[in-house]
Structure 1
Amino acid sequence: MRPGRALILLLVVPLLVGVLAPAARAGDPRWVFYSHDATRYTSPWFAGAHRIMVPFGCTRAPYYSPDPRCAHERGFHHGIDVAMRCGTPLFARFGGRVVSHASLGPAYGDNPVLIRNRARGYDLVIGHTRRVFAHPGDRIHRGQRIALASDNGAPDGCHLHFERRALHGDLATAVRPRRLLDLTPKERRS
């Protein structure tokens, strides 16, 4: 390659990347969406409108071992991951008691929140939180700020992981949490 062309490429490529890449304020550069849904959703659980990164069920996301329920050697995701900036507030959608998260393991980050609601008959695991304001033994109430979103334990950027389990249940009891999240479409981006 001639030196003149190399100089042009050196100047033009960064310019094109700057023009074609999404703005830094658009979100975390580590976000990878394993959902074709480009809708931004609001929820009583979090501030703002955000996209689903990884939906519940069979996924091509590389973080999960192949699962016999899924075709093409895909893994199974037991919750819904919602992409949002680090520090986004998380609120309680319903009341319950915060219980110890010791049984959850490192995949949920250092500070997951586990909310038990006996009246509703299930537990809710919220992973990748930081600055948790509700601790094991605390009774939480609807609308109470309970934590902030983070990338703790998440290789793919800031987001929250929501997982609905049977009361005192483990990963095998997880069911689709979408209705629980009360997701409302806000805007769709192409």
Structure 2
Amino acid sequence: MRLLGALLLVIALTTGAPPAAADPRWEFYTDDTTRYGSPWFHGRHRIMIPFGCTRAPYYSPDPRCRRNRGFHHGIDLAMKCGTPLTAGRRGWVVGTQGLGPAYGSKVLRIRNFTHDWDVVIGHARRVLVEPGDRVLAGQRIARAGANAAPDGCHLHFEKRAIRGGLSTAGRPRPLLDLRARR
């Protein structure tokens, strides 16, 4: 019996099977089954929806994309509700006016003047900082959630120009500093 349990564990770890507490609403719109770590969150998690053109049904067709696909302006990483989110870099918490309801009512925007970016973190279960707060790298800032998200608990991570709108969203992956599980 122990041998069977050990064998099943090895199969689950090597096939990229979802964790036991997977959210039943998760749907992955990428073939990437790698689990990533990052200074922005605890644990190792899979990408649900990558940055750029996507077949995920939540986005309106975008002229940048072929086959009538929509454009996703951030990266969504599937993670258990309540997963601690930490500041991967230092910055200032700023207001979230103008972001709209798609990010949920618990959204966070961190600004870094030195490197000229804003980070938008959406769908949080709980935000632990408020506008005007200075955050340091490694500081706990929020908990992952599914606030206004149709696809379960996850981290939505977006990089924009300072004070920029959706049209200024750029590739967030380098700032997210994803590291593959070894």
Q: What TM-score comes out, normalization by structure 2 length?
A: 0.88
The equivalences for 1:84-95 within 5 A come to: 84-95=79-90
Matched with 1:6 is: none
Contact 2:27-2:48 at 8 Å conserved across structures: yes
Alpha-carbon shift at residue 131 of structure 1 (Å): 1.7
Q: What TM-score comes out, normalization by structure 1 length?
A: 0.85
Structure 1: distance between partners of 2:52 and 2:159: 13
Q: Deviations over 1:106-142 (max 9, x none)?
A: 1111111100110110100010112211101111111
Amino acid at match of 1:172: S
Which consecutive segments of 4 or more residues in structure 1 shift more than 6 A?
none
Amino acid at match of 1:27: A
Structure 2: distance between partners of 1:142 and 1:24: 28
Is 1:162 aligned to residue 162 of structure 2?
no
Unaligned runs of 5+ in 1: 1-21
The equivalences for 1:96-111 within 5 A come to: 96-111=91-106
Matched with 1:145 is: 140
Higher alpha-carbon Rg: 1
Structure 1: distance between partners of 2:18 and 2:158: 31
Amino acid at match of 1:101: T
Amino acid at match of 1:99: V
- RMSD over aligned Cα atoms: 1.2
How many residues align? The count is 166
Structure 1: distance between partners of 2:62 and 2:95: 28
Aligned residues: percent identity? 64
Q: Secondary structure at the match of 2:20?
A: helix
Distance 1:165 1:23, change over 3 A: closer
Amino acid at match of 1:48: G
